[in-house]
Chains A and B, each alone.
Chain A
Amino acid sequence: MSTTDRPVATRPSAVVPEIEVDPGAFRHLADAQMNVELDTGDMVLNLGPQHPATHGTLRLVVRLDGERVLAADPVIGYMHRGYEKLTEYRPYPQIITLINRIDWLSSFANEVPFVHAAERLMGIEAPPRAVYIRTILTELSRIATFILFLGEMGLQVGAMTPAFFGFRDREHVLNVIEGATGGRFHPNFNRVGGLKDDLPWGWIAECRRTMDIVFKSCDDFEDLLMGNEIFEARTRSIGIIPADVGTSYGVSGSNIRASGVDWDLRRDGDAYLAYRDVDFKVWTHPDGDSYARYWVRLQETRESARMVLQLLDAIPAGPIMAKVPRVIKVPEGECWVETENPLGQMGYYLVSKGSTGPFRTKIRSASFSNVSILPWLLQGVYIPDIITILASLYFILGDIDR
């Protein structure tokens, strides 16, 4: 065939380099393969960034042999919003609004460590009433986050109904948060030195009533899912994180407590909020599998509701704002504050040069470390188990990418 009368392919991607192949050269290979098992290629599957089970934009590059995972590689950063850099150009009151959006399901709990860091550098302390209200709202946001998890885990293993129950019951808790702060998701209620407002009239009684709904909701989820044979078959001994591996990857929060590590910053860390005044149990589970993570979060939801009831009984009277200057300037210094957030250990390393905003902020978010264990954890599981494991680790994309 002549090459002169035909146009050369113009699209660069269509040009295939021609390789001269001697048909006889690989015959011995073909003969060898006749005697072995049929050779099947691996398949690379992109789970995400637009996948319903990844809570946003996590991308998992999964190498598959049939349905079995040979290797999984999480690719993060699709939601990077540069919060650490943004904090360097804003005064402290504006940053509180900003960091609300890191873990958007439990925004109030995000604000607390940052405000604490600023207060510690300034050498002021919030009044006791403000501390108690902060504690209550932190626990309420933990309850809201976990109730959603309890339902959503059902959805990820294929049961649609619990997910709707989760959204329905969370709404009651969000209503209570909105009643106190004015915002369902992003309260922006903390101030350096205290809180924006006091609690509205009748709120405490309303909060008590809502805790009854929370207890009932937990019972519902226990009935719906934990006793279900299919749910157990899908979660028991799936995605086991041994305690030593988990700690070496920096897994924290309920995930590591489900592996039997008895570690909770509310009890074991530096004293913060009013946790020293509350009597609560740190729940652990020895198994470390997806079922254990679900179980631990279920117990922690109940425990948080009990803590809220205790705190509501003991809430002191008094001011909600300490004496702070009109323009907040944090003196020169550095400090590290870590708290037990719903998703795990949340920490802020704050460096101040004495101006109205921080010089540098380092945000240690729980989900980033929790997700980093995925390549180790996903080896050898099946595709459906990926979804179960992702759901049971419970990460928020904003918390990974920041």
Chain B
Amino acid sequence: MTHLLAVDIGWGWTLAIKTVVVLGLIPLGALILGYTFLLKMMSHMQSRLGPMDPGGFHGWFQLVGDGMKFLQKEDIMPEQADRRVFALAPAVVVISTFLIFVVIPTGPRLVVKDLDVGVFYALAVSSLSIIGVLMAGWASANKFALLGALRAAAQLIAYELPLLLAVVGVVVQAGTMNLNGIVTAQQNGAIFGWDGLGNPYILTQFVGFALFLVAAQAELTQTPFDMPVAESELVSGYMVEYTGFRFLFFFIGEFGTAFAFAALAATLVLGGWALPGVHGGTADLLGPLVLFVKLMAVAFLIFWVRFTYPRLREDQLQAMAWKYLIPIALANILVTGLFKVWL
């Protein structure tokens, strides 16, 4: 069977297409999440009237208005700021977001780079954003920003470990760190011998999935772990001195990373682009859509928690990570390993 994407158009064109897709995808993903959840879902949950008004039907114009507002804001840089670092920080945050998308597969062949250590790579580059956050906090020459950045750094150390350990269960079960391999393993798996649905790992790795969501919430600095931003305490923390387009960069970084983590979670435990009974070229066509639906389901969970819970304190977060999440994650790995060896 000829593959749909088997036509060779040369590496140059391939690279160009991939670049355009990735560059377009991330801001678009951030906007979709921002529109669907931040504006619409939140407005419904909180009885907000403002975001439901502009443009007539359901406030569809609100996001455009917000974007236009950011573009026309004055670009202010504090007098005491470390100018180059200050200007570079938002870019570092956004670049780390872009790098995650390199390995997320949207179809059997629709992936920018099919790395063998895909999971490892994705989690590694996602933590690069913390460097941008620290740079922003330090270069702003603002005490609130500095406190926010230090909180972010402490939070990263506490939460990188559960995040990695939560994924190890999936990796052990699939026997590969290649994200496409993990999807294929789920597609070809069977639930007690019945292979109608494949075997989405959410059934066996539910604990790992829950841990991943909790840790991702901390990684994304969303409520209940939004201490680095903490609007009521630190007045937006490390972002406090940023205006206009630079602030928009942080915004895109935040929601783009949420998009990436939702896609990652959907790939790891919900079967990614795979749809039961769809193979080959059709899977390449339908893959992005299937993945999008699944990642929106995961993103809904992330934002639902964000709009519901109060914020923990930094020391309570550390206690939670080290006392509960890491031991549970280790136990999960142990149990998964035992099942893998003996079953």
Contact between chains at B233 and A164 (CB < 8 Å): no
Smallest CB separation, B243 vs chain A (Å)? 16
Q: Does B292 belong to the interface (CB within 8 Å)?
A: no
| Interfacial residues of chain B within 309-340, with CB under 8 A of chain A in the complex | 309-316
Distance A126 CA – B130 CA, assembled complex (angstroms): 66
Smallest CB separation, B38 vs chain A (Å)? 11
Range, interface on chain A: 20 to 34
* 9-residue interface stretch from A15-23, A129-137, A282-290, A382-390: A382-390
B307: chain A residues at CB < 8 Å are 160-161
Q: Residue A53 contacts which of B147, B233, B310 (CB distance < 8 angstroms)?
A: B233
B309: chain A residues at CB < 8 Å are 158-159, 228, 230
| Interfacial residues of chain B within 9-23, with CB under 8 A of chain A in the complex | none
The proximity string for A residues 141-172 relative to B, scoring 1 for CB distances below 8 Å and 0 otherwise, is: 00000000000001111111100110010000
| Interfacial residues of chain B within 141-170, with CB under 8 A of chain A in the complex | 143-144, 147
Q: Does A80 belong to the interface (CB within 8 Å)?
A: no
Contact between chains at A154 and B230 (CB < 8 Å): no
Number of contacting residues on B, CB 8 A? 28
| Interfacial residues of chain A within 12-51, with CB under 8 A of chain B in the complex | 43, 45, 51
Q: Is the interface of B mostly helix, strand, loop or mixed?
A: loop
Contact between chains at B310 and A228 (CB < 8 Å): yes
Q: Residue B224 contacts which of A51, A164, A230 (CB distance < 8 angstroms)?
A: A230
Find the B residue at minimum CB distance from A51.
B235
Contact between chains at B143 and A165 (CB < 8 Å): no
Q: Does B219 belong to the interface (CB within 8 Å)?
A: no
Contact between chains at A231 and B310 (CB < 8 Å): yes
* 9-residue interface stretch from B45-53, B179-187, B259-267, B294-302: B45-53
Smallest CB separation, B124 vs chain A (Å)? 29
Smallest CB separation, B311 vs chain A (Å)? 2
Q: Does B2 belong to the interface (CB within 8 Å)?
A: no
Q: Does A279 belong to the interface (CB within 8 Å)?
A: no
Contact between chains at B46 and A385 (CB < 8 Å): no
Contact (A168, B47) CB under 8 Å given A67-B314, A159-B309, A230-B309: yes
Find the A residue at minimum CB distance from B236.
A52
Q: Does A362 belong to the interface (CB within 8 Å)?
A: no
Distance A231 CA – B309 CA, assembled complex (angstroms): 8
Find the B residue at minimum CB distance from A161.
B46
Q: Does A234 belong to the interface (CB within 8 Å)?
A: yes
Q: Does A225 belong to the interface (CB within 8 Å)?
A: yes
Q: Does A9 belong to the interface (CB within 8 Å)?
A: no
A159: chain B residues at CB < 8 Å are 223, 308-311
Contact between chains at A384 and B47 (CB < 8 Å): no
Contact between chains at B223 and A158 (CB < 8 Å): yes
Q: Residue A387 contacts which of B42, B46, B233, B316 (CB distance < 8 angstroms)?
A: B233
Q: Residue B230 contacts which of A161, A231, A233, A384 (CB distance < 8 angstroms)?
A: A384
Partner-B contacts on A (CB < 8 A): 43, 45, 51-53, 67, 154-161, 164-165, 168, 225, 228, 230-231, 233-234, 382-387
Extra contacts, 19 of them, besides A161-B45, A165-B47, A382-B314 (Cβ < 8 A), are A52-B231, A52-B232, A52-B235, A67-B147, A156-B232, A157-B311, A158-B224, A158-B310, A159-B310, A164-B47, A165-B46, A225-B310, A230-B310, A233-B312, A234-B310, A383-B147, A384-B311, A387-B232, A387-B233
